[in-house]
Structure 1
Amino acid sequence: MNAIVTVVGNDKVGIIAKVSAFLAERNINIEDISQTVLSGNFVMMMMVDLSHSLKPLETVKNELSAMGESMNVSISVMHERVFSAMHRI
């Protein structure tokens, strides 16, 4: 099962490292990643594989959201099918 992780907020050192470490600790593989900084705003999208995750999607979503709050960034997780349906033209 794949999901899309998005991270948005003010750029600061360690965002990618913290999110990547969180995912690795839960056996979630990053399959693709794109990130940029626009006028000091950090934006990252990741396609992750949760098929071997140690925790269910809902728990991962809640934990990442809480981690984002502690880092003053917004982190959201959405199942790939939901993301694709929302962005279909």
Structure 2
Amino acid sequence: MKAILTVVGQDKVGIVAEVSRFLAEQGINILDISQTILEGHFTMMMAVQVPEQSDLQLISAKLAELGQNLKVEINLRNEEVYRAMHQL
């Protein structure tokens, strides 16, 4: 299933590396990535392909824990839910 991952927080070394490492360990493929730093604030959005048998809630919880360790907010949402949330 496709999902959208967002990361927001204070910029620091290693955010992209740690998030990418975690995704690789889970067998999650990064399809597209966009990131920017605005006045020291890091933002990243990824479109990812999550293996169908994966537990999205469990992965989301682990990403939230990783975010706490990195002092950033990490969210993972099913692409369909993300689209529905942002339709006008």
* TM-score bin, normalised by smaller chain: over 0.9
The separation in 1 between residues aligned to 2:52 and 2:70, in whole angstroms, is 26
Q: Does the 8 Å CA contact 1:5/1:45 hold for their aligned counterparts?
A: yes
User: In structure 2, what is the Cα distance between the partners aligned to 1:25 and 1:45?
Assistant: 19
TM-score normalised according to structure 1 size:
0.94
- DSSP-derived class of the 1:65 partner: helix
Identity of aligned residues (%): 50
Instruction: State the alpha-carbon separation in 2 of the partners of residues 19 and 59 from structure 1.
Output: 15
Equivalent residue, structure 1, for 2:86: 87
- 2:34 aligns with 34
Alignment gaps of 5+ in structure 2: none
Tell me how many residue pairs correspond in the alignment: 88
Unaligned runs of 5+ in 1: none
Deviation track 1:58-78 (CA, whole Å, cap 9, x = no partner) reads 111000000000110000111
Aligned to 1:8: 8
Determine the C-alpha separation between the residues in 2 that align with 1:7 and 1:82: 17
CA distance in 1, matches of 2:12, 2:30: 21
Give the drift of 1:52. 5.5
- Taking structure 2 as the reference length, what is the TM-score of the superposition? 0.95
RMSD, aligned α-carbons: 1.1
Corresponding letter in the other structure for 1:83: Y
Q: Take 2:81 and 2:27, find their aligned partners in 1: how far apart are those partners?
A: 22
